[in-house]
Amino acid sequence: MRYVSLENITDDMVLAQNIKDEFGRVLLTKGSKLSPQKRDKLRNFDVYGVYIDDAWSADIFIEPVVDEMLAKNTINALKEMNLDAVSDCAAEIVDKLMGADDYIHDVETIKEYDENTFEHCMNVAITAVTLGIGLGYNYYRLKNLAVGALLHDIGKQLVPIEIISKKGRLTDEEMAVVREHPTYGYKLLTKDINAFSATREIVHQHHENWDGSGYPRGLKEDDIYELAMLTHVCDVFDALISKRSYKEAFSYHTAIEILKEGSDTMFRSEMVDAFFRYVPVYHKGSQVTLTNGEDALVYKNNRGDMLEPIIKLRNGTILDLRHSELEIIS
Ligand SMILES: [Fe+2]
């Protein structure tokens, strides 16, 4: 099974999974061959890519750690702003990620309707917990992290929809309103006696930068709450690799380079280093290009060094990039 973005889909490709719309209705069934009409259908439903089965990827299997039911429950809990339900889902996400054999998870399946903030929050939570597990956080801390990461953009609900959904650049005034969303979220949660202080701080501080250039308060270095700092890295990475109404998705490689550049300015450098150690930045089954120009599939991630995964070449050769001169360039 491998991931192919919409523009690279060809007609003979066979779908490896059902494609559903945001209400769970099946648009195209697993095993069906793609055609120009089916591609149009995918485009109309804003599906950016699909998993397909072919000989090249026949020995790559992707089981999402967070199954469809849990993803749906979490998104509903967020939509309804039901904090108890969000907390239950957060605990389940932590359980699933802690119980996983390795830290590889598939976030692409819940990325198909990516314009939606809720899916973004879910991806950020999965990534944040993965990083937290890598850093050795205990269960209690992981759960707090998951709740905060799920709710990090809750304040956007108070930003006018015309601004949130505006296609194209925001004016300075509009940008100033958007920059209030961490404060709006903090205030919203202050009213709720069930919200933990960790959650509030993550929500309030998830756009603060290590060098003090962030918002809303311009906090600096260790004045920034660690779990907010962690959520910030995960939030930025997911935003970079996602398509938005105003931008195309960056490749994993470009997103990685941008995070590296943000070391010591946007992010604490140790947090970025840890991100590359524990978070599978190159998603399993995705296609990459190597320094020699060859295409390869991400075959397996190397925990401890996610920047150098094990890859599979077109001719079937399996190569561990930790022991190769070759590097991923896009
Ligand atoms: Fe945000």
Indicate the domain borders of the chain.
Answer: 2-53, 68-278, 287-323
Residue 101, pLDDT score: 60
Among residues 98, 83, 85, 108, the alpha carbon closest in space to that of 129 is found at 98
Which tokens hold the place of 290? 């190597």
User: Sheet holding 49-53: strands in order across?
Assistant: 2-5, 49-53, 14-15
CA 266 to centroid of ligand 1, rounded, Å: 14
Residue 130, pLDDT score: 93
Residue 111, pLDDT score: 42
CA 124 to centroid of ligand 1, rounded, Å: 11
CA 44 to centroid of ligand 1, rounded, Å: 28
Which tokens hold the place of 228? 């907010």
CA 189 to centroid of ligand 1, rounded, Å: 15
- Amino acid (1-letter code) at residue 288: V
CA 293 to centroid of ligand 1, rounded, Å: 37
Task: Give long-range contacts, CB 8 A cutoff, 24+ apart: 60-63.
Answer: 60/1, 60/2, 60/284, 60/285, 60/297, 60/299, 60/312, 61/1, 62/1, 62/106, 62/284, 62/285, 63/106
Residue length, the chain?
Answer: 330
CA dist 100 and 98 (Å) reads 6
CA 121 to centroid of ligand 1, rounded, Å: 9
Residue 116, pLDDT score: 64
CA 117 to centroid of ligand 1, rounded, Å: 10
> Which DSSP string do the residues of 202-262 spell out, in sequence order?
HHHHTT--TTS--SSS---GGGS-HHHHHHHHHHHHHHHHS-BTTBPPPPHHHHHHHHHHT
CA dist 294 and 296 (Å) reads 7
For 87, the 3-state DSSP assignment is helix
The two domains 2-53 and 68-278 share their CATH topology (first three levels equal): no
- Amino acid (1-letter code) at residue 116: N
CA dist 88 and 254 (Å) reads 35
Question: What pTM was computed for the model?
Answer: 0.91
Among residues 163, 160, 150, 141, the alpha carbon closest in space to that of 87 is found at 150
pLDDT tens string for the chain (330 positions)? 998 888 888 988 999 988 877 677 888 899 999 998 888 888 887 777 888 999 999 999 887 788 888 888 998 898 888 999 999 999 999 999 997 765 544 444 434 433 467 888 988 999 999 999 999 999 999 999 999 999 999 998 889 888 887 878 889 999 999 999 999 999 999 877 667 899 999 999 999 999 999 999 999 999 999 999 999 999 999 999 887 767 778 889 999 999 999 999 999 999 999 999 999 999 889 999 999 999 999 999 998 999 999 999 999 999 999 999 999 999
Residue 162, pLDDT score: 87
CA 153 to centroid of ligand 1, rounded, Å: 5
Which tokens hold the place of 298? 């991400």
CA 39 to centroid of ligand 1, rounded, Å: 33
| Per CATH, domain 2-53 is 3.90.105.10 | yes
Query: Taking the CA of residue 181 as centre, how many other CA atoms within 13 Å lie in the half-sphere pointing to its CB?
Result: 19
CA 276 to centroid of ligand 1, rounded, Å: 22
CA dist 97 and 29 (Å) reads 28
Pairing, β 287-289 against β 295-300: antiparallel
CA 162 to centroid of ligand 1, rounded, Å: 17
CA 141 to centroid of ligand 1, rounded, Å: 21
Rounded to 10°, the helix 117-134/139-151 angle is: 160
Backbone φ and ψ for 55, nearest 5 degrees, come out as -60, -40
CA dist 135 and 244 (Å) reads 30
Residue 145, CA distances (Å) to 106, 133, 203, 214, 264 in order: 20, 11, 10, 20, 22
CA 193 to centroid of ligand 1, rounded, Å: 22
CA 113 to centroid of ligand 1, rounded, Å: 19
- The CATH number assigned to the domain with range 68-278 reads 1.10.3210.10
Which tokens hold the place of 294? 């060859």
CA 28 to centroid of ligand 1, rounded, Å: 33
CA 47 to centroid of ligand 1, rounded, Å: 24
Around ion ligand 1, residues with a beta carbon closer than 5 Å are 153
